[in-house]
Amino acid sequence: MNLAVANWKMNKTRAEALAFRDAFSRRAAALSGVEIAIAPAFPFLAEAADPGGRWALSGQDCSGEKGGAFTGEVSSAMLASCGCRYVILGHSERRLRFGENTPLLSRKLARAREAGLTPVFCVGETLAEREAGATLDVLAAQLSALAEDPGGEALAVAYEPVWAIGTGCNAAPEQAEEAMRSIRRALAARTGGLRLLYGGSVTPDNAAALAAQPSVNGFLVGGASLDPESFSRICLAAAA
Ligand code: PGA
């Protein structure tokens, strides 16, 4: 089944998270054939949870450490104990703004597995890398963080070209397909369920064309996931 993940980033107060939950649960009841996950900011995991169980919860990140004296960090076990099924790792905002690199992401992946969380592992090239013709090499290097990840476990990999995130300029469906096909080739040895998500300026208007690509198994949605109506329309496109 395809997967649609809402990445709220550092948006929504408690009241706004509750308002989304109520508005989205009315719409989610009518959605079938798609798995849905919401990744709120850490303080509002309880508020963003679906009392009806129609959608799963995801963390936006977790620590590479198990626990202890790491002020400000949140562990994978904490997320699991709050009911999370997923954790987003390696988002480009974390790579580019917080200096996250492959060794750190390998540790985060290991922590996620220890807690039974399924990673939504993000990869994607910058505009300069694309223009230099380095896209597929960059993706391969980023995927090397998965070298120690158990290949029999379920995994989601989100292809999110950095130039498409929050810019209103999504990748053309053919561009997404080419990159995602290379990701699937690189991970061909895995035997667990592998889903490839596209992320980067997904909207209700472009979701259907992207979902129609053979390699696309769903979406990781930022800005358009903040509104219950637009996110439910994207979930509907992912289900088709
Ligand atoms: P966007 O963000 O949909 O706002 O482009 C996607 C993401 O960063 O996951």
**Three-class SS of 133-147:** CCHHHHHHHHHHHHC
Secondary element (H or E) of residue 57:
strand 56-59
Is pTM beyond 0.85 here?
A: yes
165 close to 202: Cβ distance less than 8 angstroms: no
Q: Check residue 55 and give its pLDDT.
A: 98
Average pLDDT over residues 33-38: 98
Does the C-beta of 124 come closer than 6 Å to ligand 1?
Answer: no
Q: Are 87 and 78 in contact (CB under 8 A)?
A: no
Residue closest by Cα to atom 1 of ligand 1: 222
Is the CB of 143 inside a 6 Å radius of any atom of ligand 1? Answer: no
CB 1 within 8 A of CB 216: no
Q: What is the pLDDT of residues 174-185, one digit of tens each?
A: 999 999 999 999
CA-proximal residue: ligand 1, atom 3 (nearest):
222
Mean pLDDT of the chain: 97
Among 3, 5, 7, which is best to mutate for testing ligand 1, by the most ligand atoms less than 8 A from CB? 7
Q: Are 24 and 48 in contact (CB under 8 A)?
A: no
Residue 151 CB coordination number (10 Å): 15
How much is the pLDDT for 183?
98
Assess whether 114 carries a catalytic annotation: no
Task: Return the pLDDT at 187.
Answer: 98
**The residue to which tokens 């719409």 are assigned:** 27
Q: 215-230 pLDDT, tens per residue?
A: 999 999 999 999 999 9
**131 a catalytic residue:** no
Helix, strand, coil % (nearest 5) of the chain?
40, 20, 40
Q: Is 221 in the pocket of ligand 1 (CB under 6 A)?
A: yes
- What pLDDT, in 10s, does the model give residues 39-58? 999 999 999 999 899 999 99
- For residue 172, count other CB atoms closer than 10 A to its CB: 14
Does residue 240 have a pLDDT over 90?
Answer: no
Q: How far is the CA of 161 from the centre of ligand 1 (A)?
A: 10
For the CA of 122, the closest atom of ligand 1 is: 9
Instruction: Calculate what percentage of the chain has a pLDDT beyond 70.
Output: 100
For 84-140, the pLDDT digits (tens) are 999 999 999 999 999 999 999 999 999 999 999 999 999 999 999 999 999 999 999
pLDDT mean over 142-157: 98
Residue 89 host element (H or E): strand 84-89
Judge if the beta carbon of residue 39 lies within 6 A of ligand 1. Answer: no
Share of the chain above pLDDT 90, in %: 98
